[in-house]
Structure 1
Amino acid sequence: MPDGLVRGLGDAGLLAADLPARHGGRGLSASALGTLCARLGGVCTALRSVVTVQGMVAAALSRWGTDEQRARLLPALVRGERLAAFAATEDGAGTELSAVEAELRRDGTDLVLHGTKRWVSLGEIADVFLVLARLDGKPATVLVEAGGAGVCVDPVRGQLGLRAAHVAHVRFDGVRLPARDQVAPAGFGLSHVVGTALDHGRFTIAWGCAGMAGTCLELAARHTAARVQGGVRLSDHQAVRAALGRGLAAVAAARALCLRAAESRQDGTPAALSDTVVAKYTAARTAADVSQDAVQLLGAAGCAPGSAVGRFFRDARITQLIEGAELVAEVRMGDLALREHAVARPAAGRTAAEGAPW
């Protein structure tokens, strides 16, 4: 990722752009933020991840931070003067963040943090971390400055995808923090602070995946329309057109679900969370499927070093794993389906015709 890119995004007004003007943002609507992430996702997943992670931390601070924390950090995050990272995952706490073992203990008026976080996007270059830990046995979140005593960053190299996202493992070895850096009271760290961050991230990833899939479809269509083998254009083969048709339908469906999620978020309806879960799952799967078909259609050109389609194919697999394997999202959606559609049994001694509740 080129030096100066984050500041450039800030100068262009693309970081935490959904924040209200009082915090330096542009007050973008949910659909406008989604469209931005789709455009960025169609160029580079790591580029979109900068907007996602910066927005996750900014959203959490905007809603749950103190006035001092907002004034100190939000304008700098919006301008790109500071880069944030979200540090929650551990070896034994991936999809089940309630199992984190990172610990905060009190020492006079200060807090002391011990723990190791894994797979922190932008962790290698972040200026500040939003860290999930436990304080007095309860989930708590704190802000930790990078480069301070006890903060050890171990960059990750050679991962399958998101290779430009500066992923790192980060160890916090007795990091001393002033009490002012705690975000919300202990007990609210996971359900409120982290919940807000994850929901924001899930939403922007969904749109980014839809944009990624759209670009893969476009590149595949252009290649097959121009490529001639045996005197026949690839696009003249029915199997090729069928693959493009499947991609067109899948991309349209993913975009429609992303738009539904944006509308429910904007309206503040109770379905906002479930709509976002469904949109992220579908868009990530669409990106994986369409990019895989695009690699097949481009052949060697899709696998060559520097191929955008090949890069998207790898990145799409990573987006399917964010928040855990797809099975985790499927179980969550199954719970939603049961709550929405399961029919209650008639009360004892009554039939449906007699007006039993349904």
Structure 2
Amino acid sequence: MTVPATDPGRSRHAQYPGRKETAGLDKIRAFVDTEIAPFADAWDQAEQLPSELLTRIGELGLWAPFLPPDDGGSGMDWTGIGQVHEEIGRGCSSVRSFLTVHTMVTWTVQRWGSAEQQARWLPRLATGELIGAFCLTEPDSGSDAAAMGTVAQPADSGWILNGHKKWMTAGQVAGLLLVFARTEAGMSAFLVPADTPGVRISPLNAVMGTRASMLAEIVLREVHVGPDALIGPPGWAAGTVMTGALDLGRYSVACGCVGVVQACLDACVAYTSKRRVRDGRLSELQLIRRKISDMVVSSRAARLLCAEAGRLKDTDDPATIMATWVAKYHASTAATAAASDAVQIHGANGFVSDYPVARLYRDAKVAEIIEGSTELQQITIADEAYREVAR
């Protein structure tokens, strides 16, 4: 039996006749194919993204397309954002990570910022002239906001921040930090320019996955900011800014994981169609075909879950929160499974940078930890199931 080489990535939009693709997605797909995917392994090894790429992302209007045109965006809906982040994730999870955190910061300014904050920051965030970093996680408390050690104390002319943040995506190049800190009133959020005196940024290197996402450790020592740095009133951020921004982060990661599964599928179909074993190709072996079929089903299921979460976001339906938890849980675990199978299919070639699957495996595992770990998602989803039964 001879199996012809196929390119499932290029035809996958035809798999859903009723699914509307966002305008210009073909252009973004071509951008990923020519300017991201071929260089992702080199960026992974260098542990950084080139400034030219960040400029190109801005030229394509991808930093914050959800913003209205008056703020420098194109008014793209969240379903469209998900499709864009899937394509970027298919090419490089580190690039998608940049878009994830930048989206979280930019959306926060748009949704909760004052008119003055919006006028000051949104135009530069929209173009990528200014990169945003979401500063929540800390070395000793992780993402446990209740155990956060960073504090903000009122001063005569604003606030003084002291604390320590870690694992900040894009932190090495970010110009604007969205910093979460404890105040007497409760959790609060502050917009802190990265060049503010007292802010010390140190690169984090030799991480396992998303190695080019330019992670940083950020220490704040007697950092003075004006009253205009505070997002909303003091003590207001936990149930608003943090919850909303993290929901968008989970959505972006989930959509990016669909791209990872698709990248694994593309790589494995291409590899097994050419790789010969005994008197035939790898693609003719039943166990190989089982793994391929699992990737096909996983990618379609995860894509539909993300589409549902995006649709609910676009209609302002509160159910989008749980739909996003479900989508992120399924997509991230599916990405890890697909990447593991992809390495297995490639054999020893799966361990070297000549093929993308080693990077895909490492990047997929990261997605099971960030924006809510797999275990936290399982607890949250189960809790919702019990609540629904009790109604």
Sort the TM-score into its range (normalised by shorter chain).
over 0.9
Contact 1:15 1:80 in 2 (8 A): yes
Contact 2:131 2:176 in 1 (8 A): yes
Cα RMSD (Å) of the superposition?
1.2
Residue of structure 1 equivalent to 2:116: 68
Flag the 1:111–1:306 CA change in 2: closer, same or farther, 3 A: farther
**3-state SS of the aligned residue for 1:52?**
helix
The equivalent position to 1:142 in structure 2, one of 178, 186, 190, is 190
Q: CA deviation at 1:36?
A: 0.4
Give structure 1 regions of 4+ aligned residues with deviation exceeding 4 angstroms.
none
Residue of structure 2 equivalent to 1:353: none
Residue of structure 2 equivalent to 1:355: none
Aligned-partner residue type, residue 256 of structure 2: G
Contact 1:98 1:190 in 2 (8 A): no
Contact 2:136 2:143 in 1 (8 A): no
Measure, in 2, the Cα distance between the counterparts of 1:48 and 1:57.
Answer: 14
The superposition leaves residues 232-262 of structure 1 with CA deviations (integer Å, 9 ceiling, x where unpaired) of 2111111110111111111111011011111
Contact 2:93 2:210 in 1 (8 A): yes
Within 5 Å, which residues of 2 pair with 1:180-219? 180-219=228-267
The equivalent position to 1:153 in structure 2, one of 201, 216, 228, is 201
Residue of structure 2 equivalent to 1:228: 276
Residue of structure 2 equivalent to 1:327: 375
Contact 1:304 1:310 in 2 (8 A): yes
Q: Could you tell which deviates more after superposition, 261-270 or 301-310?
A: 301-310
Flag the 1:10–1:135 CA change in 2: closer, same or farther, 3 A: same
Q: CA deviation at 1:324?
A: 4.3
TM-score by length of 2: 0.86
Contact 1:94 1:324 in 2 (8 A): no
Measure, in 2, the Cα distance between the counterparts of 1:105 and 1:42.
Answer: 43
Measure, in 2, the Cα distance between the counterparts of 1:221 and 1:201.
Answer: 30
Is 1:271 the equivalent of 2:319? yes
The equivalent position to 2:214 in structure 1, one of 162, 166, 173, is 166
Measure, in 1, the Cα distance between the counterparts of 2:85 and 2:239.
Answer: 25
Larger CA Rg, structure 1 vs 2: 1
Contact 2:166 2:217 in 1 (8 A): yes
The equivalent position to 1:127 in structure 2, one of 175, 178, 184, is 175
Residue of structure 1 equivalent to 2:7: none
**3-state SS of the aligned residue for 1:321?**
coil
Is 1:94 the equivalent of 2:159? no
**3-state SS of the aligned residue for 2:51?**
coil
Is 1:78 the equivalent of 2:126? yes
Q: CA deviation at 1:182?
A: 0.7
Is 1:7 the equivalent of 2:55? yes
Give the gaps of 5 or more residues in structure 2.
1-48
Contact 1:6 1:50 in 2 (8 A): no
Measure, in 1, the Cα distance between the counterparts of 2:186 and 2:319.
Answer: 28
Measure, in 2, the Cα distance between the counterparts of 1:278 and 1:200.
Answer: 13
Contact 1:116 1:171 in 2 (8 A): yes
Is 1:300 the equivalent of 2:352? no
Q: CA deviation at 1:343?
A: 4.4
Q: CA deviation at 1:95?
A: 3.7
Residue of structure 2 equivalent to 1:175: 223
Q: CA deviation at 1:221?
A: 1.1
The equivalent position to 1:35 in structure 2, one of 78, 83, 103, is 83
**3-state SS of the aligned residue for 1:4?**
helix
Measure, in 2, the Cα distance between the counterparts of 1:111 and 1:49.
Answer: 30
Is 1:116 the equivalent of 2:164? yes
Aligned-partner residue type, residue 219 of structure 1: A
TM-score by length of 1: 0.93
Measure, in 1, the Cα distance between the counterparts of 2:342 and 2:200.
Answer: 40
Aligned-partner residue type, residue 34 of structure 1: G
Measure, in 2, the Cα distance between the counterparts of 1:180 and 1:46.
Answer: 32
Contact 1:8 1:80 in 2 (8 A): no
